[in-house]
């Protein structure tokens, strides 16, 4: 009896230690762009059933379709609640861009809106890396479910390639490329920015010399009556310790979303 109780206690502790896994888009950006292109031929506002049709699904009740629709939301390409959806400005730019540069910029923004963004920021650029290792990093540092390791790596690689941020070699590896930084006329001639003739640029460490802060993580968890958002803005790449901390925060946020959703249902 004591052994049985001990085994039961260990099982309970194991269940308590398990944390919700971190979600990620299951629809890669290239596929998402194709869906938007088909939908844009019929306007910018659609029903959920119409979006399902553009994805090749006959029903809106399947888990596969719901996961793909969640991916469009994660990328920030559709918005709306209930049965009515609208393609966002970013989605419209991807579907019907004025220039290819404009389209790539919108794709890169969509890519950065998801958990893919931090993984890209932290990964080495310019050298081939294993797609499988990208999946392992997501599991170990961001809390992605181990069973989704392979899928994460594949969707990440295809999405990065669609956004112009990677080149695939077909041998299970991908080479990430640095995102081009837009340069204005002022940035090319820093001595001319709000300074008198002959005035030197600010010394390193001066507030005006610090790099502009940019979001490196912007993840959203929508639920019927609202959404929870997590944004990290920083001027340096995130470290391994940062990713570990983010993973813990994400796990708590997902618990919060489950509680909020359950509260809505009980009401």
Using one digit for the tens of pLDDT, what is the confidence trace for 184-227?
334 344 443 444 444 454 444 444 444 444 455 666 667 677 77
In a domain, 221, yes or no: yes
Q: Is residue 204 part of a domain?
A: no
Asked whether residue 220 is assigned to any structural domain, the reply reads: yes
In a domain, 23, yes or no: no
Instruction: Give tens-digit pLDDT for 177-189.
Output: 987 644 333 434 4
**234 assigned to some structural domain:** yes
The residues near 21 (Cβ < 8 Å, ≥ 6 apart) are: 143, 144, 145, 148
For the chain, the domain total comes to 1
pLDDT at 75 over 70: yes
Residue 207 lies in a domain: no
Residue 152: Cβ-neighbour burial (10 angstroms; 0-12, 13-18, 19+): buried
67 occurs within a structural domain? no
Range of the domain at 228: 214-266
Counting other chains too, the contacts that 258-266 makes at CB distance below 8 Å and 24 or more residues apart are 258/20, 260/223, 260/225, 260/226, 260/228, 261/223, 261/224, 264/223, 264/224, 264/225
CA distance 206 to 10: 55
> Is residue 75 one of the residues assigned to a domain?
no
- Looking at residue 195, what is its pLDDT? 44
Do 174 and 166 form a contact (C-beta atoms < 8 A)?
Answer: yes
């Amino acid at each position: 009896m004591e052994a049985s109780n001990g085994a039961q206690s260990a099982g309970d502790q194991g269940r308590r230690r398990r944390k919700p896994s971190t979600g990620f888009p299951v629809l890669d950006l290239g596929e998402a762009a194709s869906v938007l292109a088909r939908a844009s031929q019929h306007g910018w506002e659609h029903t959920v059933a119409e979006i399902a049709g553009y994805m090749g699904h006959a029903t809106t009740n399947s888990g596969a379709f719901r996961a793909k629709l969640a991916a469009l939301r994660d990328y920030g390409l559709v918005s709306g609640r209930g049965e009515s959806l609208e393609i966002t400005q970013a989605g419209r730019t991807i579907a019907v861009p004025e220039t290819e540069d404009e389209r790539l910029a919108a794709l890169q923004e969509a890519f950065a809106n998801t958990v893919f963004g931090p993984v890209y920021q932290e990964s080495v650029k310019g050298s081939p890396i294993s797609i499988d290792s990208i999946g392992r990093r997501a599991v170990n540092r961001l809390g992605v479910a181990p069973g989704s390791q392979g899928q994460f790596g594949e969707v990440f690689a295809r999405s990065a390639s669609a956004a112009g941020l990677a080149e695939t070699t077909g041998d299970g590896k991908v080479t990430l490329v640095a995102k081009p930084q837009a340069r204005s006329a002022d940035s090319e001639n820093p001595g001319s920015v709000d300074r008198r003739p002959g005035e030197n640029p600010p010394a390193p460490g001066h507030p005006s010399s610090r790099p502009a802060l940019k979001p490196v993580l912007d993840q959203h968890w929508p639920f019927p009556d609202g959404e929870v958002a997590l944004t990290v803005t920083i001027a340096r790449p995130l470290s391994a310790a940062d990713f570990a901390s983010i993973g813990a925060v994400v796990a708590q946020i997902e618990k919060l979303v489950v509680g909020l959703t359950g509260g809505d249902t009980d009401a």
